[in-house]
Structure 1
């Protein structure tokens, strides 16, 4: 298992230069938000072709949360996706992505918080310095990628809104709009898509709210304009196109657990020792590679997150 914790962090000056070279940063956080907004408003911004040619991602030192593994090429990361709001085929999200309009966009924050509010996406991302994180991503279907996300820790937002003493979980709700999401015109799932985390999972420094991919504005097919990234869990936990974040006292219901409770649990931690009822999880196929590789416990992040589940039966709490 790679020891990701020993990698040197990116100095603040280098981080600013990286963002400036990507066209996403001027001087202030507000400038960064404006840069992302301008990119998403330009013609064709929702397509992989338009965003794929917008920038060249410069080299940078690995940060403390980065994996050393090779990043999945942009063309594959943006055209092989599960995003049922656009359709059930892997290529549907990229083909249908232009129907989603990621601006204007607001996120409602409510529940067990002292500062409930509805905030514009550009204001929201302007509150925090953006970081890039190179994470493994493992799908419950048995394939995987390595993704270079751009975003901010969910913990930063949670601390800003000040949870009450009753807050134990965080529920996320995605956009419901069949005009923008043609896949929602069918009943393959109960819409809108909802997901959840325990509060300590949400506060873990690995948990990210992403607004970009590979130094570029987040493509529609990858969850624009705001998505969750929890790298030690199966990909379906990483809800896309978030419009609502609710802190709750009770464990929230989640879309796939409601659809097939015997197959998809609330925790969805990557565990090679617990097979899916219809296939083994012991190995995975890395997109772009031939053959299969061994699946790592907690997707390779056991050193960082296994302590969250001390004493739990990870077969029962799957």
Structure 2
């Protein structure tokens, strides 16, 4: 299926910020003061290793369930006037600290990661705890492709086609009790295969949570594919959650456990750095991060800066969920 594209910037311009800071001879102070545009310009002057990233597109599940892709694209979800970010960029610019903090290095470390078999434990305030296989997850609802905007708290953004179905379908299968108010996601923990988890400054494994009414919103998505095929590992294979009106870290990857709770659970970044990251973490240009503004963002596909949209452009759909005071 043909997709409209704008001229792109080479992958070599999108190296991890820390790499560029080191190359430019900047210390800790430079990390907090160097602007996004500044470090992008720095890449063009410091140079970058060239590599063949054709393997970056490979689904972690291989040819399993290949017949399910590509799913039919829904015309309900629009990103215009923006355009889809090219896969060759979106697949090599990733945050996945379990592997490495180097964005451009994640796909290379993740490309041979085995995700079959994959079990998902369902626990907490449910009628009966149970375990799902990934194959069970695929059968819960028909797959569709949705074009979504994606916004990282670091102020970069992209637009990608996700494949999956509403998270509400999975929640219904889990049969939470009436007292359940939150859904918690726990992701894979495997220090032998995920070297970043040996860094004990972080409370591994990664965990996130949503209020249950947020999770039941139509935009919240169980995602099993991207760009018309199964998820590569750097995108969170074999499945993840996508909540496009929130900052990217609220869309956990490679989930192995779902837990329903009555009380609001802790979340990874809010626990690690509570002054910097809130529980809700909705995209909001009027609420700066303590160390940088959120008023502007840069598209990693075009290199262009633009104004950040409230709720990442999904205000009409989700604003009724909030008072506007949430952090």
- Rate the CA distance shift 1:283–1:268 in 2: closer, same or farther, 3 A: same
Please, which runs of 5 or more residues in structure 1 have no aligned partner? Answer: 1-45
Partner of residue 80 from structure 1, selected from 81, 85, 93: 93
- Rate the CA distance shift 1:168–1:49 in 2: closer, same or farther, 3 A: closer
Please, which runs of 5 or more residues in structure 2 have no aligned partner? Answer: 1-53
Cα-to-partner distance string for 1:247-302 (whole Å, 9 max, x where unaligned): 10010101100111011000000000000011000000001223310000000000
- Rate the CA distance shift 1:260–1:63 in 2: closer, same or farther, 3 A: same
Q: Which residue does the alignment assign to 1:257?
A: 270
**Number of residue equivalences:** 268
Taking structure 2 as the reference length, the TM-score comes to 0.78
Q: CA RMSD in A?
A: 2.2
Distance in 2, matches of 1:107 and 1:290, equals 38
Distance in 1, matches of 2:59 and 2:182, equals 35
Distance in 2, matches of 1:84 and 1:138, equals 17
Q: Which runs of 4+ in 1 moved over 4 A?
A: 57-62
Partner of residue 200 from structure 1, selected from 202, 213, 232: 213
1:147 aligns with 2:160: yes
Distance in 1, matches of 2:78 and 2:201, equals 35
Cα-to-partner distance string for 1:129-187 (whole Å, 9 max, x where unaligned): 11111100000000000011001111011112221111000000000001121111112
What is the deviation of 1:227?
Answer: 0.6
Q: Which residue does the alignment assign to 1:309?
A: 322
Distance in 1, matches of 2:129 and 2:78, equals 33
- Rate the CA distance shift 1:60–1:122 in 2: closer, same or farther, 3 A: closer
Partner of residue 180 from structure 1, selected from 178, 185, 193: 193
The answer to whether the 8 Å contact 2:74/2:145 transfers is no
1:125-144 → structure 2 map (5 Å cutoff): 125-144=138-157
Distance in 2, matches of 1:58 and 1:239, equals 23
What is the deviation of 1:66?
Answer: 3.4
The answer to whether the 8 Å contact 2:98/2:195 transfers is yes
What is the deviation of 1:99?
Answer: 4.8
1:2-21 → structure 2 map (5 Å cutoff): none
Secondary structure of 2:183's partner? strand
- Rate the CA distance shift 1:268–1:118 in 2: closer, same or farther, 3 A: same
What is the deviation of 1:123?
Answer: 1.6
